[in-house]
């Protein structure tokens, strides 16, 4: 996520504030879960700050981090996108939604039944869970999250999907090298994109629907 407890605290607080701003600008109930995504990402950063402070281990913060990162986001993102898109676009989200539900179920079972441990590795935190069929789960996770955004048909959400995909690739490469965690920067950028999406949404008002003139 971030390279230190301080970085996680600063990033988490900032991203959460962006999320609150997004939520307060929502005009449609269906947009609320997606608008609240930065709040979830910000809380996630704050949780990891606690993981840094206690030196990793297997405490509540580690488990909370895993719950948010794995099963919760896997199902939150595709369902949030489904609630935000027009009805005629919902059909193409069937596969990401099903993938998210299935992936989240397996991940939730793994987190509930296996020990979750965090290890401080220089400027990164490694989380050890021992997931079964890790490659399949990663593919399902990306299909559910990045795939749902890319298939939304909304230019802001498609941009968010592209950014999340690139961010996942870059952060994974840097994490594998145990160089530095950079996801907090991408999470901040994603939150700004969500804010742009919310700001661009317009409520449907009576004045926006012009009455059809009566024909004689």
Q: What is the pLDDT of residues 127-171, one digit of tens each?
A: 898 888 888 999 999 999 999 999 999 999 999 999 998 888 876
Average pLDDT along the chain: 88
In the chain, DSSP assigns E strands to 117-121, 124-128
Average pLDDT, integer, range 106-120: 94
Dist. CA 181–CA 171, nearest whole Å: 7
The residue among 68 and 207 whose pLDDT is bigger is 68
| Nearest CA among 25, 19, 58 for reference residue 41 | 19
Secondary structure (3-state) at 82: helix
Q: Evaluate if residue 44 carries a pLDDT over 60.
A: yes
Phi and psi based region of residue 179 (left: phi greater than 0; alpha: psi -120 to 50; beta: remaining)? alpha
Q: How far apart are CA 64 and CA 8, in angstroms?
A: 15
């Amino acid at each position: 996520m971030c390279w230190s407890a301080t970085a996680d605290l600063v990033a988490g607080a900032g991203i959460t504030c962006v999320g609150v701003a997004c939520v307060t600008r929502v005009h449609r109930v269906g947009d609320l879960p997606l608008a609240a995504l930065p709040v979830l990402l910000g809380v996630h950063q704050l949780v990891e700050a606690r993981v840094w402070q206690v030196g990793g281990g297997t405490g509540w913060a580690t488990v909370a981090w895993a719950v948010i990162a794995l099963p919760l986001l896997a199902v939150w993102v595709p369902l949030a996108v489904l609630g935000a898109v027009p009805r005629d676009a919902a059909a193409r989200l069937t596969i990401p939604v099903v993938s998210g539900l299935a992936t989240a179920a397996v991940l939730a079972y793994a987190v509930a039944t296996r020990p979750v441990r965090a290890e401080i590795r220089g400027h990164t935190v490694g989380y050890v869970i021992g997931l079964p069929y890790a490659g399949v789960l990663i593919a399902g996770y990306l299909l559910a999250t990045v795939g749902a955004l890319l298939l939304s048909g909304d230019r802001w959400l498609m941009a968010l999907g592209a950014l999340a995909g690139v961010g996942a690739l870059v952060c994974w490469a840097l994490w594998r090298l145990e160089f530095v965690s950079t996801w907090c920067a991408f999470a901040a950028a994603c939150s700004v994109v969500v804010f742009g999406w919310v700001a661009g949404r317009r409520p449907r008002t009576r004045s926006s629907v012009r009455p059809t003139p009566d024909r004689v």
